[in-house]
A and B are shown apart, each in its own frame.
Chain A
């Protein structure tokens, strides 16, 4: 069964600290993996998109890594800010056949940054 699991479910950190969010998936075949940020009451906004040939991709203070062999990804946030408080969603895109273009969503990690 094609699934995307994220951990932890929620996380609280102090402003200025770093954190790492995890994503494991079983989607196969696989096209790309995306990390989205969803602020409360808003739609998801894309942070990074990685294909199976990419190991890492950065977007400012956000760095995503991908290990397509173990089907694991992580999102590292450096020097957290209060505005980083949001839900971070891992999304895997299917590769071909019946899964082509189909997106599989994780439940998200709810990050809270305290001052």
Chain B
């Protein structure tokens, strides 16, 4: 199993540009998550999904959108990039029916908005 994979690893955007961060898992997990990690801070939840076709907001959803058309994929969309979105983004997935199972993280995408 590859686990949770994310692309790209690094990206530099100009203010106002848009992009999609890709996330794929091959563990057949129903729960998937997007987090951002700012320097010296704990991870903050952006969006999560409890299964295909179902998504919900986390702590910091503003400026982002997600979709979950398949169990495997959970892309994160930035429509109008802003410097405040400079961060490292982690995708994660977990098993179980209540979201309390162990979460497996991808390697992260380091995004810089200039």
Query: Which A residues are closer than 8 A to B by beta carbons?
Result: 4, 31-32, 34, 41-46, 49, 89, 93, 100-103, 105-108
Contacts and interface: CB of A to CB of B under 8 A. Distances in A.
Interface of B: 4, 31, 40-45, 90, 92, 98-100, 102-108
A42 B102 contact: no
A31 B100 contact: yes
Contacts of B45: 102-103
Given A32-B100, A101-B99, A43 B108 contact: yes
A83 to B, nearest CB: 18
A106 B43 CA distance: 8
Contact of A43 (B41, B42, B105): B105
Contacts of A103: 43, 45, 103
